[in-house]
Amino acid sequence: MTLSQSPPMYFTGQNPVNPSPNEISPLALNQVDDKDVAGQSGLNKNYSDCGDSSQLSASVAQNVRRFLGPPPAIRDQVERVSSLKPNQVWEGKVTRILGSEFIALIQDQTVRTNPIEEVTLELDLVSEEERGLVHPGSAFYWTIGKEKTPAGQIKNISFIQFKRNPRWTANMLARSEKRSRKFHTLFSEDE
């Protein structure tokens, strides 16, 4: 099953600078790997611990490649920044929505041995275009880092990107139902 979608056109061909090994080129974010996409929303997938920033960048690039497409928040960044150096990345899952805030469990992707945290986040941190994606069970990445503008200015940055999962179709559901029948044999053997 392929769940991927084509990346937005404006993303292709834009590579304003050659990033250093410790930075992520916006183009790197564009390299969606179809093989990776089907299992993209795991809180506990196989990420390595990142002892130094170059490893961290590689890990983040790997994480971000798992996205189905860059949401508007990052598109804005891409249009105006030449590079992004993440200091910290979490993968999160929304557990509850409370008015103008939401509560999420977040797993540190920078140091995997850090404990899972529960955090209360303002909905304002999510771009308006993405707020429809915020619901219990939805997954996101939260990145804190530094951006270097084309003019060379370095600024702190914190942004949340929600995973843009496709929707279940009748065919997909029928296929899952059919596949689930293999499990029935487990329960019939002992009866």
Binding site for other proteins (CB under 8 A): 1, 3, 38-45, 87-88, 93, 95-96, 103, 105, 108, 111-121, 133, 135-139, 144-146, 156, 158, 163, 165-170, 172-173, 175-177, 179-187, 189-190
Beta carbon nearer to other proteins, 15 or 116: 116
Beta carbon nearer to other proteins, 9 or 167: 167
Beta carbon nearer to other proteins, 13 or 113: 113
- Provide the minimum distance between the beta carbon of 7 and other proteins in the complex, in angstroms, as a whole number: 19
Beta carbon nearer to other proteins, 27 or 144: 144
C-alpha to C-alpha distance for 102 and 86, rounded to whole angstroms:
23
DSSP notation for 17-78: S---TTSB-GGGGG---HHHHTTTT-TTS-PPP--SHHHHHHHHHHHHHTSSS--HHHHHHH
Beta carbon nearer to other proteins, 9 or 187: 187
The residue whose two tokens read 């990420």 is 47
Q: Check: CB of residue 158 under 8 Å from CB of residue 144.
A: yes
Collapsed DSSP state (helix, strand, coil) of residue 184: helix
For 180, the token pair is 């689930």
Nearby residues of 64 by Cβ (< 8 Å), 6 or more positions away = 24, 28, 29, 141, 161
C-alpha to C-alpha distance for 146 and 119, rounded to whole angstroms:
22
Question: Which residues lie across from 145 on neighbouring strands?
Answer: 86, 157
Beta carbon nearer to other proteins, 6 or 95: 95
For 170, the token pair is 């009748």
